[in-house]
């Protein structure tokens, strides 16, 4: 069976390796000149940047995947502190370190960890590693534990059952950003991510996510996966309700099975009208994850920052509201994230910082440079850092659209609202074309490198079972 995968993101690479190790012939076609998709990297002089993911969570997922494909998992190192949180004008780095080392100082935190561990364990055992059906919501393990596996309340409401401390609510609410949402619209069941952070720990793969992508890529090549870079698929040939080939200009790639590891909306636009999965009205109703203004900054001087820094200024709900309403963020009520890998990885030659400002998908934000300047100045003040910028590159919604064909420049695809969770996410198999499948953040289980890796395993088994029919 020849498998053609369009897209060399984490989902495409992982699915390719999984199926190739099962003996299938696999070719990956990629629009860009390198693998990784949103997890790709770039360098400039002494500076190197991971362009996308920066948190290595749920290490056991990667261990399972690499065990399944007969490869050694990545070497990882623990990130300490897990992260630091800065709110308002107060630098609470020291408090954050105490928080990470002595969780018991917060009343009810142990109870919170126990309950989120229950959610995490139940999800890992029952739901995450399969394509959920609607009937799974009636599983006795859920029905009998609705209080401990809450589906119908928000993450913020759930956290308030345990805590009133504003600092702690923010520390436990920001994890919703990993899921493309806010603590006010993300279902409480995703509090399990907090167990992944505080109970399991935050790690860093050797070489960063660039190293992780390289490991996947090299394993694919060694096992015999074929690659075609700089090939943007612009046409899909269909015959008798089957995809027979994909085209990139004059280049034609035929196969028996086709997997799209690309933006789901864009994939629909490539199909003949009668085979599209969703119309434009559907997409207009969907809740997309934020886009982002990303600043890749190489500096010289003193940087007093943790690996992961969360900066919350003013009323953070107003920032989330601006994202959902399509408005520009108010600079006085704007939160942002900063990654400083050298805090963990001293082998890096340069001091590279990545600033991320979540913004509404589709927002043009012509004055984006003003926002970048403001967060860099705020970061320097709050961390008491003193440096000058030697290199800067800004990446925004228009770049997500150009590079990844991302619908409205969304950074993560569909957000994890209740009606876009589990069986409500987009299907892995096209219902009209018998041999077309999908993998990645739009499908189950959802957003994030661990989830996309699980998606690849689920899809790999689904295709192998399908091929036997």
- 376 and 450: one domain? no
Q: Which of 376, 401, 426 corresponds to the end of one domain?
A: 401
State mean pLDDT over 76-97.
70
Residue 173 falls inside a structural domain: yes
Tokens of 330: 């108010």
Residue 407 falls inside a structural domain: no
Residue 331 falls inside a structural domain: yes
Distance, in Å, from the CA atom of 140 to the CA atom of 153, rounded to the nearest integer, reads 19
Mean pLDDT of the chain: 93
Residue 410 falls inside a structural domain: no
Q: Which of 201, 218, 237 corresponds to the end of one domain?
A: 201
Q: What is the pLDDT of residue 147?
A: 78
- 197 and 94: one domain? yes
Give residue 78's pLDDT band: very low, low, confident or very high (50, 70, 90). very high
Residue 455 falls inside a structural domain: yes
- 302 and 387: one domain? yes
Contact 459, 429 (CB under 8 A): no
Q: What is the DSSP string of 285-312?
A: HS-BPPEEEEEEEEEEEE----SEEEEE
Integer CA distances (angstroms), 74 to 24, 28, 121, 205, 250, in order? 24, 22, 23, 6, 38
Integer CA distances (angstroms), 292 to 371, 410, 457, in order? 11, 8, 29
- 271 and 305: one domain? no
Q: What is the pLDDT of residue 96?
A: 42
Q: Which helix (H) or strand (E) holds 85?
A: strand 84-87
- 302 and 375: one domain? yes
Question: Does the pLDDT at position 372 exceed 50?
Answer: yes
Mean pLDDT lowest for which of 166-175, 226-235, 347-356, 410-419? 166-175
pLDDT in tens, 163-193: 988 888 998 999 898 889 999 999 999 999 9
Residue 304 falls inside a structural domain: yes
Q: What is the CATH number of the domain that holds 237?
A: 3.50.50.60
State mean pLDDT over 98-117.
72
Question: Does the pLDDT at position 102 exceed 60?
Answer: no
Structural domain span for residue 295: 290-401
Contact 37, 59 (CB under 8 A): no
Contact 315, 409 (CB under 8 A): no
Residue 162 falls inside a structural domain: yes
Domains in the chain, number: 3
- 70 and 114: one domain? no
Q: What is the pLDDT of residue 150?
A: 85
pLDDT in tens, 191-214: 999 999 999 999 999 999 999 999
- 71 and 217: one domain? yes
Distance, in Å, from the CA atom of 146 to the CA atom of 316, rounded to the nearest integer, reads 29
- 300 and 359: one domain? yes
Question: Does the pLDDT at position 100 exceed 80?
Answer: no
Q: What is the pLDDT of residue 93?
A: 39
- 211 and 250: one domain? yes
Question: Does the pLDDT at position 329 exceed 90?
Answer: yes
Question: Does the pLDDT at position 92 exceed 80?
Answer: no
Q: Which helix (H) or strand (E) holds 25?
A: strand 25-29
Integer CA distances (angstroms), 368 to 269, 382, 407, in order? 30, 21, 20
Q: Classify residue 4 by its DSSP letter.
A: E
- 297 and 390: one domain? yes
Question: Does the pLDDT at position 263 exceed 70?
Answer: yes
- 110 and 173: one domain? yes
Q: What is the pLDDT of residue 142?
A: 80
pLDDT in tens, 265-295: 999 999 998 998 788 899 999 999 999 999 9
Percent of the chain predicted with pLDDT > 70: 96
- 163 and 231: one domain? no
Q: Which residues pair with 339 in a beta bridge?
A: 308, 354
Distance, in Å, from the CA atom of 178 to the CA atom of 190, rounded to the nearest integer, reads 10
Question: Which of 2, 24, 49, 122 has its CA nearest to residue 294?
Answer: 49
Residue 450 falls inside a structural domain: yes
């Amino acid at each position: 069976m020849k498998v053609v995968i369009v897209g060399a993101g984490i989902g495409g690479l992982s699915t390719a390796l999984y199926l190739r190790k099962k003996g299938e012939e696999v070719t990956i076609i990629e629009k860009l000149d390198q693998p990784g998709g949103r997890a790709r990297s770039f360098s400039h002089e002494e500076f190197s940047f991971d362009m996308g993911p920066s948190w290595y969570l749920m290490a056991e997922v990667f261990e399972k995947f690499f065990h399944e494909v007969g490869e050694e998992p990545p070497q990882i190192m623990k990130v300490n502190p897990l992260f630091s949180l800065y709110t308002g004008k107060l630098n609470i780095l020291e408090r954050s370190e105490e928080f990470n080392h002595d969780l018991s100082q917060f009343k009810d935190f142990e109870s919170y960890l126990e309950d989120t561990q229950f959610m995490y364990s139940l999800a890992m055992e029952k739901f995450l590693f399969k394509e959920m059906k609607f009937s799974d919501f009636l599983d006795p393990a859920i029905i009998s534990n609705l209080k401990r596996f809450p589906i119908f309340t928000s993450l913020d409401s759930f956290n308030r059952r345990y805590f009133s401390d504003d600092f702690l609510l923010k520390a436990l609410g920001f994890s919703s950003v990993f899921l493309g949402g806010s603590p006010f619209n993300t279902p409480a069941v995703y509090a399990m991510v907090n167990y992944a952070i505080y109970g399991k720990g935050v790690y860093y793969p050797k070489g960063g996510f660039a190293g992780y992508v390289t490991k996947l890529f090299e394993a694919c090549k060694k096992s015999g996966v074929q690659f075609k870079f700089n090939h943007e698929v612009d046409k899909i040939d269909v015959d008798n309700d089957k995809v027979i080939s994909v085209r990139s200009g004059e280049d034609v790639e035929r196969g028996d099975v086709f997997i799209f590891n690309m933006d789901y909306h864009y994939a629909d636009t490539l199909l003949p009208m009668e085979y599209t999965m969703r119309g434009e009205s559907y997409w207009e109703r969907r809740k997309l994850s934020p886009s982002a203004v990303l600043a890749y900054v190489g500096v010289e001087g003193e940087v007093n920052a943790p690996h992961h820094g969360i900066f919350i200024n003013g009323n953070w709900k107003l920032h989330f509201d601006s994202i959902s309403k399509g408005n520009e963020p108010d600079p006085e009520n704007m939160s942002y994230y900063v990654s400083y890998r050298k805090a963990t990885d001293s082998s890096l030659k340069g001091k590279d910082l990545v600033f991320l400002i979540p913004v509404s998908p589709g927002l043009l934000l012509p004055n984006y440079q003003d926002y970048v300047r403001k967060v860099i100045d705020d970061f320097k003040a709050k961390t008491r850092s003193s440096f000058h910028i030697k290199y800067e590159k800004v990446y925004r919604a228009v770049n997500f659209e150009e590079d990844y064909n991302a619908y409205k420049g969304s950074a993560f695809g569909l957000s994890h609202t209740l009606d876009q969770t589990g069986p409500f996410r987009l299907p892995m198999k096209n219902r009209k074309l018998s041999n077309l499948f999908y993998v990645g953040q739009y499908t189950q289980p959802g957003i994030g490198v661990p989830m996309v890796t699980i998606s690849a395993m689920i899809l790999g088994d689904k295709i192998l079972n399908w091929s036997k029919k």
